[in-house]
Amino acid sequence: MARWVQAKERAGESVPVADVAASFQEAVVDVLTRKAVLACQDNGVDDLLIGGGVAANSRLRAMAQARCDDAGLRLRVPRPGLCTDNGAMVAALGAQMVLRGRAPSPLDLPADSSMPVTTVLSA
C-alpha cells in the first residue's frame, strides 16, 4: 500500500485517503481477529473477549463475530458505550479503590509497561 501511495504522489495524482484508511483498517482487523481466534483454538479457550477502545470498531466486531462463529467460539464484546480507552478504565478502577479506602499511588510513580499484571505496587 505504501508503494502505491508513493507512486500516486510522485505522479502528482491525488491519494484517496478514505480508501487507504479502509484498506489499513481491513488489514489490521484481519490480523487481529485471525490471531485471536487461533490463540483461542491453540489454548482450548471457548470465549474470545475484546475490550478497550478498539472494541468499539464495527468492522472488528463484525469480523470477530464471523470468525468466532466459524470456529465455534463465543464472542464477548461490551456494548460500544462501554468500550472506552483502557487508561480511562484503569483510572476509574483506581478511583473506586480509593473510595473504598486504599491509599492512592504517589504522583511520582513511574510507568512500567513491562511490569506483569500480577504485580501490585503499594504506596
pLDDT on residue 31: 96
How confident is the model at residue 121, as a pLDDT? 64
Q: What does the pLDDT read at residue 123?
A: 47
pLDDT tens-digit readout, 70-109: 999 999 998 888 787 777 777 888 888 899 998 888 888 8
Please report whether residue 7 resides in a domain: yes
Query: In this structure, what CATH number is given to the domain that contains residue 81?
Result: 3.30.420.40
How many domains in the chain?
1
Region class of 44: left (phi > 0), else alpha (psi between -120 and 50), else beta: left
Decide if 26 contacts 58 (C-beta within 8 A): no
Domain holding 36, by residue range, is 2-99
List pLDDT tens digits, range 31-45.
999 999 999 999 999
In a domain, 118, yes or no: no
- Say what the pLDDT of residue 41 is: 97
Domain membership of residue 108 (yes or no) is: no
pLDDT at 35: 97
Percent with pLDDT over 90 in the chain? 44
Whole-angstrom Cα distance, residue 35 to residue 41?
10
Whether 107 is covered by a domain: the verdict is no
* Pair 94, 105: CB distance under 8 Å: yes
Task: Answer yes or no: is 15 within a domain.
Answer: yes
